[in-house]
Amino acid sequence: MSWQQQPQQPYYNNNQYQSNPYQPGAPPGPSPEYATQYAPPPPQPFYNDTKSPYENDRFKPKKRINDPIILVLFILQFAGFVVVSAISISSWVKDGGLGGGLGKGNTGTSVSLNQHTVYLLLLVTAAALLLSSVYLILEFTSLRFFVLYSTSHPVFTVIALFSVLSYFGFRSRIPLASLLLQVVIDVSKHHKSVYVVAFLALIVQALLAVWFTFAAIATYEKWTPGNPSCATTSCSSGKVAGLIFFLTFSFLWTSQVIGNVALATLAGGPYGCWYYFGPRGEGDMPKHPTLSSFGRASTLSLGSIAFGSLIVALLELLKMILHAAQNNANADGHPVEACLACCAACFVGIIESLVEYFNRYAYIEIALYGKPYIKAAKDTWRLLADRGVSAIVNDSLVGMTLTWGAYAVGLLSSLFAYLYLRITAPSYNADGNYTAPVLLFAFLIGLQCSLTLSSAIEAGVSTIFVGLGEDPQILAIRAPALFGLIAQTYPDVVRGV
């Protein structure tokens, strides 16, 4: 008899649970929406092991700034971004943006990127905002429906989980993804701050993308040889390349920090408090958990978040350099060098994916306990390895869906930019030299916007995994159906700590 067919039964003793001084009143159980089925508990009795939500300084970290050196470096690089963009944009405004505007026949000077490109990337940003918002809505509505019914209708799997290359290979994972999404959706319904944080982070990300757009185009305008500003300024292609490299790195690092601050805010706020305190109104949840979590993430833990974000930004930058080397080798007719650069880029991409996968849970440790990055990373490794949670993480389709969705938004943004370039045929791109950087800027804008918005779901799913590794008995109370499936499939994970 499968776990779905077992008779319904409670996971805890009400009298024992109500006697817990940390959870007064009625036991904070699951909402009916995702708890329609109950699974029998595993044979080992560990449900009486109800710990304090504040154990090990959880939700009450020490008042100290973690990783201050990285925090200072982050502030300095952002200050540098401000200075470079201010100098270049002021010159760009003075020169009138080298002409250009919307549509065909209004493309401005042929020397370098100009105001025409600014309008293009602003349209790309608007498209990325729209695509990211639509994708988030699908994640909270249609995706959930498709995942729920895809076991009997394979076509829904293709629509909802387009990253799945083999339906039958992933079919066994669909119930877990379905229940995880249902739990996250239900918690979000009771905590509107989830949507507020997600869309505020998206707006900040979009504003940063617009800022980066103006700064990058203005840098080309000010320091590219042959422009009017070169009469009073030393111009060279090397200077342009160096400044664009710095601006791109700063954009990547700052974008990573914005998205990860949003993730830490949600993990230490509504999702973490739901797991350890229970639903709002039924447990002892602190007041304004989202604001408190944001305060910790944006001040005391900002250096730790910037630490992890720096590693990913450097890997992303290295991958971009390798792709550029591959393109140059192809253009110069050197297939061996192009193949080596492609292999190296793939290898760096694998490392980047592993670091992002690992960092996500480190940020949750930082959000819950206020740990420095290195300590959070070590504890995350021990949690995933010793408790066996990595097996569940690897079997979850949610992260895969969100990641490939972000790449899809990035590619669609690049496609939009490419079509606009082809239709308008700007004079500065007559020989196609600027196609690659424009498409790269468009892809980065779309990718970062989508990843930021998807953090609303990713934070909820990852927080559940961290809580499961630390206190699995709590999930038996919060989401019995989800716990039952995990207990059936991963019995080692749900054993008491």
Q: Among 23-27, 35-39, 80-84, 357-361, which stretch is predicted with the lowest mean pLDDT?
A: 23-27
Residue 367, pLDDT score: 92
Give yes or no for residue 265 having a pLDDT over 90. yes
Report the C-alpha gap between 74 and 307 in whole angstroms: 9
Burial class (CB in 10 A: 0-12, 13-18, 19+), 96: middle
Q: Who has greater pLDDT, 156 or 246?
A: 246
DSSP string, 282-311: TS-PPSSHHHHHHHHHTTTTHHHHHHHHHH
- Residue 332 pLDDT level (bands cut at 50, 70, 90): confident
Share of the chain above pLDDT 90, in %: 16
In this prediction, residues 86-109 reach a mean pLDDT of: 68
Q: Among 1-15, 67-81, 248-262, which stretch is predicted with the lowest mean pLDDT?
A: 1-15
Name the residue type at position 30.
Answer: P
Is residue 379 a contact partner of residue 365, using CB atoms and an 8 Å limit? yes
* Residue 15, domain member (yes or no): no
Q: Who has greater pLDDT, 161 or 176?
A: 176
Q: Which two tokens stand for residue 261?
A: 């601050």
* Residue 29, domain member (yes or no): no
Q: Who has greater pLDDT, 397 or 479?
A: 479
Query: Which of 152, 86, 183 lies closest to 396, judged by CA?
Result: 183
Residue 148, pLDDT score: 44
Highest-confidence segment of 26-30, 235-239, 341-345: 341-345
Give yes or no for residue 57 having a pLDDT over 60. yes
* Mean pLDDT over the full length of the chain: 76
Residue 224, pLDDT score: 83
* Residue 237, domain member (yes or no): yes
Residue 283, pLDDT score: 57
* Residue 487, domain member (yes or no): no
Residue 16, pLDDT score: 35
- Residue 179 pLDDT level (bands cut at 50, 70, 90): confident
Give yes or no for residue 346 having a pLDDT over 80. yes
- Residue 81 pLDDT level (bands cut at 50, 70, 90): very high
Residue 185, pLDDT score: 80
Q: Who has greater pLDDT, 477 or 112?
A: 477
Q: Who has greater pLDDT, 296 or 429?
A: 296
Residue 162, pLDDT score: 44
Residues whose CB is less than 8 angstroms from the CB of residue 417 and which lie 6 or more positions away in sequence, other chains included: 120, 121, 124, 438, 439, 441, 442
Q: Among 28-32, 173-177, 328-332, which stretch is predicted with the lowest mean pLDDT?
A: 28-32
Query: Which of 222, 174, 101, 246 lies closest to 397, judged by CA?
Result: 174
Give yes or no for residue 12 having a pLDDT over 50. no
Residue 396, pLDDT score: 63
* Residue 16, domain member (yes or no): no
Report the C-alpha gap between 41 and 375 in whole angstroms: 33
Burial class (CB in 10 A: 0-12, 13-18, 19+), 470: buried
Residues whose CB is less than 8 angstroms from the CB of residue 367 and which lie 6 or more positions away in sequence, other chains included: 263, 264, 265, 267, 268, 272, 293, 296, 297, 301
* Residue 28, domain member (yes or no): no
| Residue 281 structural domain | 52-470
Report yes or no on whether pTM surpasses 0.85.
no
In this prediction, residues 390-418 reach a mean pLDDT of: 77
In this prediction, residues 253-265 reach a mean pLDDT of: 92
- Residue 402 pLDDT level (bands cut at 50, 70, 90): confident
Total domains in the chain come to 1
Q: Who has greater pLDDT, 343 or 284?
A: 343
φ/ψ (deg, to 5) at 278:
100, 170
In this prediction, residues 327-333 reach a mean pLDDT of: 79
| Element holding 55 (H helix, E strand) | none
* Residue 485, domain member (yes or no): no
In this prediction, residues 438-450 reach a mean pLDDT of: 84
Q: What is the pLDDT of residues 117-165, one digit of tens each?
A: 777 888 888 888 888 888 777 766 655 454 544 434 443 344 444 444 4
Q: Who has greater pLDDT, 188 or 368?
A: 368
* Residue 231, domain member (yes or no): yes
Residue 237, pLDDT score: 83
